[in-house]
Structure formats: structure tokens, C-alpha cells
Amino acid sequence: MGFCSNQLLCLCTLLSLLVCSLTSRAEAEFENEVSSRLVINTSSIVATISDHFLCVTVDFTEARECDYGWCKGTATGVLYLDLENERLGNTLAGLAPVMVRLGGVLQDLVVYDVGDLLPSERCTPFVYNETALLYFDGGCLGMERWDALNQFFMKRGVSVAFGLNALYGRPKSEEVKHITTPWNPSNTENFIRYTRDRAYPVIAWELGNELFGDISQGTTVPAALYAADVIMLRDIVDKLYQDEASKPSVVAPDMTQFGPEAPFSESEFAIFMDTLGDGVVDAVTRHIYNLGKGLYGTDDMINNKIRDPKVAAAEEDVYKIFQSVLKEYPKTSAWVGEGGGSARGGLEGVTDVFISAFWYLDQLGTAAKYNNQAFCRQSFVGGNYALLDVDFNPNPDYYGALLWRQLMGNGVFKVEIEGGTNEVRAYAHCQRNNQGGLTLLILNYSNVTRHHLDLSLLGYPADSSPSSFNQLLTEKKFQDDKIHLLSSDGASSGDFRLEYHMSALNRNVSSSVVLLNGQPLLMTPSGELPTLALVEVNSTSPISVEPLTYAYVVIQNANVPACAASDSETFRSQSTA
């Protein structure tokens, strides 16, 4: 018995030592420390985004619209969304003046119940038909519903980009792979007139969804014919809004692929733009699902893509190519009309949890850097890639978008990281609603390394050599090292910067709960958004970002000359992109 007891004692001791060793090793690995320098060229703005850059999508969806086992359901669609829900209204208002893009796959079946209709285009509800184009017959937007939607949007201070039916008057069959007949714009013209007469907040009319280039939705419209359709829409908008102080943008073609891996779409786009010429289309749109399709993917595959900064860098190369093409058309801007990361509804437990921020927020930063004027998150509600769950509670990415809306202004600066690391990606903008202030977004992709970043502002003060911002602050003899918690509306002295550190609950990046400076962000029982509590940090200290976390950092007293103006027009005149 005594021998057995000693055996157990020895075994327990060995196990304890092993556990301690593994724990110490894990902690040691987790606590790797790397110091780098974040250099921001504040001498000039490289891009200027619009006030409607932040954008979310709401689709025309149906209960039977399913993607391999996951069904979108009617509750999240344009025709059925519960406009009386407080959580829905409050979360949307929190992102104002966000732009809401209404459209998606089924938009090219929707008839508007206004004016005379073609005999072949009846305004009837969607009916599932597995042999029909997009698996549905019918589709109708009544004006009573359209009125209610606009009242909802106006109350929340948001604007609308509406996706128009580009197949009206055309054959709708899986057998017709390439459209050869012209678009009939009569229903669209009546609908736009109705909308204009009521001063509804539509700031963009977008023609067609994924009918361009490589076949994505069962049929495609050739580039030259698509351009002719857009010219008709341009004429309608110019005619109907000729007496208005401003007119909505004309937007197209919502292509799904672009770049070296999609040579056909790239060549079609060249034909499309050459046919149109400069200024006919105000913005050209592409959709980004560079993580793959949720139905084919696995948690590990898509998760690993999100966590790999090389994947982010590869998509940045496509942004560069797109920007270089559009330099030939200075009156036309770029939009990301849909950005969901993983197509076919996303992937539960990946694109709707904390880790998704390393795709989404990096995409926001990259899109802004390359002068895209909108990035529309697919979707606001509906799917495993939505900002809200089916009960209208925010998923983690919603809070990342909320901080973007509150902190990131229109002027964008070039950022470089000195120190040889590719584990950190960072972006810098003028601070929103604070002249001269600067906001940084920093993402640490490493799962083992804490990164410490010293900050340098190139061109501040106005000279040709880099100037250490830390040194400037040290010269002012700032002594106070303490960090203390304040509410987001608290006063801040010039000695401190403001930091918003976002992390996953229990460091589990698959968590649906996000922590802001260690505190969980949860809506109140009455459906109100939580307070966003910041920390004030002495400005002379490096910015420290924990593994697999991200942070917004605000330097209110940066006094950046390029951020001295508050209006977009002044920014635009300074933009070099």
C-alpha cells in the first residue's frame, strides 16, 4: 500500500511539474515582446473617403433562399425586416450616417409596383421554383413598403444605395447564359420618379447585381451592352434630378472578380469603361469574398486565412490594380459594393465572431487607403457574416464598425512599420470631428507576441526629416505615467492619448463576445447600445497591442495641419490619390 502511495505521489508530482512546465512555456510564448516604430507621413493626405464610406447591405431574401443547409429566412430581407424592432433601429442609428445598400442576388427579379408594367413583368410575390433563374419566380416591392422603409431610414439618419433590376424586360431563364436584348428602363424610371417626388434619402442608384464578367448568378450581360444600360440609367437620373440641388450617383457593375486571377472580368471591365467614357458612371463596384465560400470551407481553413496577414496583403494588391485602372477615369470612384469575406452566407463560428475583425477592419483600412468611397459590409443582418445576429444583437464586428464610425475621419495617411514585422497592420486617419486630431487602427495578427509601437510623425513639425512624436511630448515634460478609465464622453488633457483595445472574451477568438479595454460590450435589456469606455494613456509611452487583439488609438492634440479642415471638400483638394 505504501509503495502504491509513493507511486501515486511521484506520478502526481511529475504531472504537476509537467503542467507547470507547459503553462510556463505557454505563458512565455504568449509574452514575446517586439518593439517597432510606427511612422505616419502626415505631410499630405493620400486618400479622402466620403461620409458614406461605412456601408452595410440588406438583401432581398426569401425563406426558401438557402445555401447548402443554411437558409436566410424572411425576417432579414428588405420586404420583411421588422422596422419596429428597437435593437434594429438603435444599432443602425449608431452607425449613422451609414449608407444602406438594398439589393443582392434577388434584386434583378424585383418589380416595383408603380406605373404601368410590361405584361411579362407582373408584380407578384416571390415563389420558389428550382428550375427558374435564381430559383425564384416573381418578386415585388410595393410602394407602401417602400414608404415604410424610407421613414425608418430617415428617422435613423442613414442614406440608401438602391440596387435596381437590370433584367426587367429581359429573359429570365437558366438556359440564357448571355443576355443579348436591351434593358427596359420604364419600371425603373417610374420608381425613381416616385422616390424623388418624396425626397427619400437615396444617394445612389446601382444597376444590376453580379451580372458582369464571369457568370455568377446564372446569366451575364456583356460589357458593351451593360454600358448601354448604364447610359440609359444616367439619362434618367440626369433628367429627373435636373432641378434638384444634388442628384444621386449612378453605380455599376457589381462584379464578383477582378485582378490577375480573373482575366476575363478584367478585360470585360476595360470594354465597359471604354464604352462609357469618364463621368457616365460615378462609381464602379466590385464584391470581395477572398476567404472562399462558406459552404466549401472549414473553420480552420477560413480562420487561418483571416489570421494570415499575407492574405490581407494579397487583396491589397488587387486594390492597387483597381486604383491604377481608374486613374484613367478621374471622375469615377471605386466602391466595394459587397464585402463579406466568405461567400454563401459566411461560416458560423468564424465570420460572426471576434476573429472576423482581422478581415473586416483590415479591409476597411485598405479600401480607404486606396480611395474607395464605400465599403458595404455583407450584411447588416442575415447570414453568418452579418454585423447583427438574427435577434438583432450585435456580433463582434459591429462594435469594430461602431468605433470606426466614431473615430476615423475622412483624410487618410500613409503608414509604415519599421522593425521588420509583418504581424502588425496599421492605418491612420484624421480624427473624426476633431480638427488636427489623428486616429490609428492597429491590428496584431500574432497569437504569441505583444507588439510595442513607438510613434513617429513624418513632416511634423513642418520639415523634411522624421520627428519623434514621443520626443516632442517628452520635451514638454509630461510626467504622469498613470492609466485610468474614463467614459467616452469624459474630458481629456493634452498629456494623454485615448486608447480603445478590443479583445475576445477569455482570449478565445471564436467568442461572440468582444471586450473593450477588458469590459464586455453588450446591449442593455431595453435595446440600447453600451457605453464605449476608453483608457487614457500617457502619450510618451509606446502603444502596446496584445496578441490577436486590435486597438483604435486617438491623439487628440496631434495638431496635424492636413487635418485642420473639417469638411470633405477641403480634404478632397489635398488628396493625392
Q: Does residue 42 contact residue 562 with C-beta atoms inside 8 Å? A: yes
Residue 60: how many other CB atoms lie within 10 Å: 25
Is the pLDDT at 53 greater than 60, yes or no?
yes
Do 173 and 286 lie in one domain? The reply is yes
Do 43 and 77 lie in one domain? The reply is no
Q: Examine residue 222 and say whether the peptide bond preceding it is cis (omega within 30 degrees of 0).
A: no
Specify the length of the chain in residues. 577
Q: Which of 51-55, 536-540, 554-558, 560-564 has the highest mean pLDDT?
A: 51-55
Q: Which residue has the higher pLDDT, 486 or 558?
A: 558
d(CA 265, CA 83): 38
The total domain count for the chain is 2
Q: Which residue has the higher pLDDT, 90 or 105?
A: 90
Range in 1-10, 66-75, 85-94, 551-560 the model is least confident about: 1-10
Say which CATH number the domain at 488 has.
Answer: 2.60.40.1180
d(CA 167, CA 198): 26
* Residue (of 432, 418, 447) closest to 358 by Cα position: 447
* Residue (of 226, 214, 213) closest to 183 by Cα position: 226
pLDDT of 419-475, one tens digit each? 767 899 999 999 999 989 999 999 999 999 999 999 988 765 444 344 444 454 444
pLDDT of residue 441: 99
Q: Does residue 91 contact residue 529 with C-beta atoms inside 8 Å? A: yes
Whether residue 399 lies inside any domain: the answer is no
In DSSP terms, 415 is beta-bridged to: 40
Do 367 and 479 lie in one domain? The reply is no
The alpha-carbon radius of gyration of the chain (Å, integer) is 26
Do 567 and 488 lie in one domain? The reply is yes
Say which CATH number the domain at 155 has.
Answer: 3.20.20.80
d(CA 339, CA 351): 12
Do 56 and 39 lie in one domain? The reply is no
CB burial class (10 A; 0-12, 13-18, 19+) of residue 391? exposed
Range in 294-308, 395-409, 524-538 the model is least confident about: 294-308
pLDDT of residue 495: 75
pLDDT of residue 2: 40
d(CA 124, CA 137): 9
pLDDT of residue 421: 78
Whether residue 6 lies inside any domain: the answer is no
Whether residue 398 lies inside any domain: the answer is no
Q: How confident is the model at residue 194 (pLDDT cuts 50, 70, 90)?
A: very high
Is the pLDDT at 133 greater than 90, yes or no?
no
CB burial class (10 A; 0-12, 13-18, 19+) of residue 27? exposed
- The three-state secondary structure class of 547 is coil
Do 73 and 185 lie in one domain? The reply is yes
Is the pLDDT at 72 greater than 80, yes or no?
no
Q: Does residue 299 contact residue 348 with C-beta atoms inside 8 Å? A: no
Average pLDDT value for residue range 178-205: 96
pLDDT of residue 26: 38
d(CA 152, CA 380): 15
d(CA 371, CA 530): 32
By annotation, the residues acting in catalysis are 210, 338
Q: Does residue 480 contact residue 495 with C-beta atoms inside 8 Å? A: yes
With vertex at residue 130, the alpha carbon angle to CA 129 and CA 132, rounded to the nearest 5 degrees, is: 65
d(CA 327, CA 340): 26
- Which residues have CB under 8 Å from 6's CB, separation 6+? none
Q: Which residue has the higher pLDDT, 6 or 273?
A: 273
d(CA 516, CA 501): 6
Q: Containing domain of residue 368, as a range? A: 50-343+357-381
Q: How confident is the model at residue 293 (pLDDT cuts 50, 70, 90)?
A: confident
Q: Which residue has the higher pLDDT, 203 or 174?
A: 203
Whether residue 505 lies inside any domain: the answer is yes
Whole-model pTM: value is 0.87
Do 74 and 41 lie in one domain? The reply is no
Residue % of the chain over a pLDDT of 90: 66
Domain boundary among 365, 381, 397: 381
Do 296 and 325 lie in one domain? The reply is yes
Whether residue 351 lies inside any domain: the answer is no
Is the pLDDT at 407 greater than 80, yes or no?
yes
Do 184 and 127 lie in one domain? The reply is yes
Range in 114-118, 213-217, 360-364 the model is least confident about: 213-217
Average pLDDT value for residue range 83-93: 97
Is the pLDDT at 488 greater than 80, yes or no?
no
Average pLDDT value for residue range 183-209: 98
pLDDT of residue 461: 45
Residue 331: how many other CB atoms lie within 10 Å: 11
Pairing of strands 514-516, 496-504: antiparallel
Q: Which residue has the higher pLDDT, 344 or 143?
A: 143
**C-alpha cell of 455?**
510613434
Q: How confident is the model at residue 478 (pLDDT cuts 50, 70, 90)?
A: very low
d(CA 108, CA 95): 28
CB burial class (10 A; 0-12, 13-18, 19+) of residue 231? middle
Do 149 and 104 lie in one domain? The reply is yes
pLDDT of 310-338, one tens digit each? 999 999 999 999 999 999 999 999 999 99
Q: How confident is the model at residue 68 (pLDDT cuts 50, 70, 90)?
A: very low
d(CA 279, CA 329): 7
pLDDT of residue 489: 39
Whether residue 279 lies inside any domain: the answer is yes
Is the pLDDT at 264 greater than 50, yes or no?
yes
Cα separation values, 564 from 492, 493, 512, Å: 19, 19, 38
Q: What is the DSSP string of 420-446?
A: S-SSEEEEEEEETTSTT-EEEEEEE--
Average pLDDT value for residue range 481-510: 68
Cα separation values, 351 from 188, 305, 423, 424, Å: 35, 11, 20, 20
pLDDT of residue 30: 55
Whether residue 551 lies inside any domain: the answer is yes
Do 41 and 71 lie in one domain? The reply is no
Average pLDDT value for residue range 17-28: 37
Average pLDDT value for residue range 413-421: 87
What does the mean pLDDT of the chain come to? 84
In DSSP terms, 499 is beta-bridged to: 535, 553
Do 195 and 325 lie in one domain? The reply is yes
Give the 3-state DSSP-derived string for 18-86, with helices as H, strands as E and coil as C.
Answer: HHHHHHHHHHHHHCEEEEEEEEEECCCCCEECCCCCEEEEEECCCCCCEECCEECCHHHCCCCCCCCCH
Whether residue 290 lies inside any domain: the answer is yes
Average pLDDT value for residue range 66-77: 58
